Amino acid sequence: MSLRIDMQSHPTLHDLDRAHIWHPLTQHQIFTEGSTPLIIVGGHGSTVISQDGRAFLDAAAGLWCVNVGYGRQELAEAGSKQLYELAYYPLIQSHPRAIELSTRLAGYLPDTPHIYFSNSGSEANEVAFKAVRQYWKQKGKPSKIKILSRFRGYHGTTLGALAATGQPERRRDYEPLPPGFLQVSQPYCYRCPFQLSYPSCHLQCAEDFARRIEIEDPDTVAAIIIEPVTAGGGVIVPPVDYLQRVEGIAHEYNVKLIVDEVVTGFGRLGSMFAHTPYGIRPDIITMAKGLASGYMPISATAFSQDIFDTFLGEMDSGRHLRHVNTFGGHPVAAAVALANLEVIESEHLCERSQQAGQQLLHQLQDALANVPAVGDIRGMGLLVGVELVTDRQTKKPVSNQVMRAITQYALQRGIILGKASDVEHQRNNVLMFAPPLVITDDEITQLVTIIREAIITVMENPRI
């Protein structure tokens, strides 16, 4: 029996929202107590507009995806033109926009020139896991099935991607998850799990992969998956030589390396892809959010020539990838993604992300240096985290309640701010900044000023 709304009572959008929308990561009890979600009706640049006309600086770029900012007419026109030309066709056959987009992505990533399109980051990672397991079977090593990831890492919300995700709070209530996924330590220098300091630590966080592979037996391990910078787990930035060492371990043990660029790609960290400045050559790269800046849902998984070639065989050999997406590589999504990449390149938004990210990081460091609750400030490009503690010596995390109060305070003053959510029990104490790459200098100053005010006010009055 469906819930019916009496339209004669003139229900508001908030009424209809409460009646019908199940929001992610949300305790809906708050809506019965008078709270309401923002209803966003428009946006331009880094600003979104709510139904009641209020303007908000979106320091989270939606869900870290609106890289080129809101209100881009060129992206809307690209999608509209494609709708008239060809609204849909699956990649069981092909169409021009998917060909053009895959060619462009291969140009950025010449070592992984074969592109499989999906709709979300979770799906992109699922494709990677399935393909790498099938790869090893076709190479005569059927026992190589295990995927190693890291604690606090996030790789998606579908069951396979969730199994790779090292966030206990996200996994709770959905177990048992698919077997064969194992986690090792993060390069979390602020809270080093080995109680060491860089560089005298000799990258024990990276060596943890080698130890785990040896414990499990290299003949059972298919791949390692890592984010260049751990995003949703708290903006954890590794030492500069960490990625190279992880790549070296993967090669030493004959394990494939998957780099998850779902958040970090397309300028977010100051380059088109975050791993490329380090000179590493992954076997598989996954990408999503910034690929179309959220204007359309699209993701991609890029594969090396070696992996792709292993799927070649006779028609009935069974060596083809037995995976399909109804909407993967959708013509409209691909057209919008192409227009999005044009904007990123023509407006030099990777360089802008570097410059603006340094400005944001330095202003936060200056503004929060003497705020006792601030334990660590870290970031790269326009992905910055501020870790909050009750005591700088013990590094005890502030509570979830305090984190919610700070983000609510900021919201009341016109800032939409991200924070770690459902990562570890009572260890969700990182404010996260990932604004559109077009954020202005003045907006950065506004953001830092209000965040300082929010942290100080809430810490002094924790019941706010």
Dihedral in degrees, nearest 10, Cα atoms 385, 364, 439, 24: 30
| pTM of the entire predicted model | 0.95
pLDDT exceeds 60 at position 402: yes
Q: How far is CA 21 from CA 26, 31, 40, 120, in A?
A: 11, 11, 15, 20
Regarding whether 205 and 81 lie in a shared domain, the answer is yes
110 and 236 co-located in one domain = yes
Amino acid at residue number 387:
E
Residue finishing a domain among 312, 346, 380? 346
pLDDT band at 8 (very low <50, low <70, confident <90, very high): low
Do residues 61 and 101 both lie within one domain?
no
Lowest mean pLDDT among 18-27, 152-161, 199-208: 18-27
Instruction: Say if residue 335 is in the same domain as residue 455.
Output: no
Where does a domain end: 324, 346, 368? 346
> DSSP for 129-165?
HHHHHHHHHHTT-TT--EEEEEBT----SSHHHHHH-
pLDDT tens for residues 374-387? Answer: 999 999 999 999 99
Same domain assignment for residues 148 and 296: yes
User: Where among 302, 317, 346 does a domain terminate?
Assistant: 346
Measured distance CA(388)–CA(372) in Å, rounded: 9
Contact (Cβ atoms closer than 8 angstroms) between residue 117 and residue 329: yes
What band does 440 get if pLDDT is binned at 50, 70 and 90? very high
Q: What is the pLDDT of residues 224-246, one digit of tens each?
A: 999 999 999 999 999 999 999 99
Q: Which helix (H) or strand (E) holds 55?
A: strand 55-58
Is 194 a residue whose pLDDT tops 60? yes
Least trusted range by pLDDT, from 18-32, 157-171, 193-207? 18-32
pLDDT at 88 over 80: yes
Task: Please indicate, yes or no, whether residues 215 and 260 belong to a single structural domain of this protein.
Answer: yes
- DSSP-derived secondary structure for 212-225: HHHHH-GGGEEEEE
- 323-351: per-residue pLDDT in tens? 999 999 999 999 999 999 999 999 999 99
Residue 146 belongs to a domain: yes
Query: What is the rounded distance in angstroms from the CA atom of residue 135 to the CA atom of residue 124?
Result: 16
Taking CB atoms within 8 Å and a gap of at least 24, the contacts of 399-404 are: 399/426, 400/426, 400/428, 401/462, 402/429, 402/458, 402/459, 402/462, 403/428, 403/429, 403/431
Co-location of 328 and 308 in the same domain: yes
Shared-domain flag, residues 77 and 51: no
The number of distinct structural domains making up the chain is 2
Residue 3 lies in a domain: no
2, part of any domain: no
Q: What is the DSSP string of 231-242?
A: -TTT-BPPPTTH
Residue 73: pLDDT above 90? yes
What DSSP state is assigned to residue 253? T
Residues 324 and 449 in one domain: no
Residue 219 is part of which domain span? 73-346
What burial class does residue 336 get, using C-beta atoms within 10 Å of its C-beta: 0-12 exposed, 13-18 middle, 19+ buried? buried
SS3 246: helix
CATH number of the structural domain spanning residue 34: 3.90.1150.10
Q: What is the dihedral of CA 217, 226, 156, 435, to 10 degrees?
A: 170
Whether residue 5 lies inside any domain: the answer is no
Does 89 score more than 60 pLDDT?
yes
Question: Are both 250 and 325 inside the same structural domain?
Answer: yes
CB atoms within 10 A of CB 390: 17
What is the residue type of 116? Y
The per-residue pLDDT for 1 is 31
d(CA 144, CA 205): 23
Residues 6+ apart with CB under 8 A from 77: 339
Q: Helix, strand, or coil here: 39? A: coil
Average confidence (pLDDT) over 442-453: 98
Q: How far apart are CA 275 and CA 6, in angstroms?
A: 54
Residues 6+ apart with CB under 8 A from 317: none
Asked if residue 25 is part of any domain, the answer here is yes
pLDDT of residue 25: 87
pLDDT tens for each residue of 160-193: 999 999 999 999 999 999 999 999 999 999 999 9
- Cα–Cα distance for residue pair 433/21, rounded to 1 Å: 27
Triad 402, 407, 411: Cα angle to 5°:
145
- The rounded percent of the chain whose pLDDT value lies above 70 is 97
Say yes or no: 273 and 290 in one domain: yes
Strands across the sheet containing 55-58: 40-44, 47-50, 55-58, 415-416
User: Does 105 map to a domain?
Assistant: yes
Whether 322 maps to a domain, the answer reads yes
**Residue at token pair 């005010």:** 453
Residue 127 neighbours by CB under 8 Å, 6+ apart: 116, 118, 286, 301, 323
Q: Which pLDDT score is estimated for 2?
A: 42
Banded pLDDT at 3 (limits 50, 70, 90): very low
Which tens digit of pLDDT belongs to each residue from 271-292?
999 999 999 999 999 999 999 9
CATH of the domain at 189: 3.40.640.10
The string of pLDDT tens digits covering residues 106-148 is 999 999 999 999 999 999 999 999 999 999 999 999 999 999 9
Task: Tell me if 6 is assigned to some domain.
Answer: no
* Model pLDDT, residue 11: 84
Asked whether residue 257 falls in the same domain as residue 394, the answer is: no
Angle between helices 96-108 and 331-346 (to 10 degrees): 40
- C-alpha 236/C-alpha 272 separation (Å) is 19
CB within 8 Å of 460: residues ≥ 6 apart: none
Mean pLDDT value across the chain: 95
Does pLDDT of 9 surpass 80? Answer: no
